[in-house]
Structure 1
């Protein structure tokens, strides 16, 4: 066996126990041992990229900001249910198609 960093109190199987475990694993049709030829066909780099965790990467990621809205605006969008923030973003994008932010008069 190779040298492994183990937690204190870890008990490794003896060579005899390990041989029994491996023999039982080989007889199980659902088990693929690391020395199996099928696994040797895949380079580790390919195995690693088969499934990425998390959300898919997007071409134009959204920017996280901390912003304050009036309660009426937030309540109106929240009342629409799940996805209200996405709808708010869509409403602002739609507004930008016909208006310029610098043209807004602040009272």
Structure 2
């Protein structure tokens, strides 16, 4: 029985910072992104630009959006 008990997954405690592997900045950024209205568009970009962003892994689309946001006048 003790072996079975050690295999039971417990729910994360939202008040325990050790239960989550995300920083406060990441949580704040995610909350801000949810509040922003987005639109799906078709856009032609250089292949090299896409390759560089895609090489950064999951979330590359959000990073392109952030780069465009910083570059916007």
TM normalised by structure 2 equals 0.49
The structure whose RCO (Cα within 8 Å, separation 6+) is larger is 2
Q: Which has the larger radius of gyration?
A: 1
TM normalised by structure 1 equals 0.34
Name whichever structure is richer in helix by fraction.
2
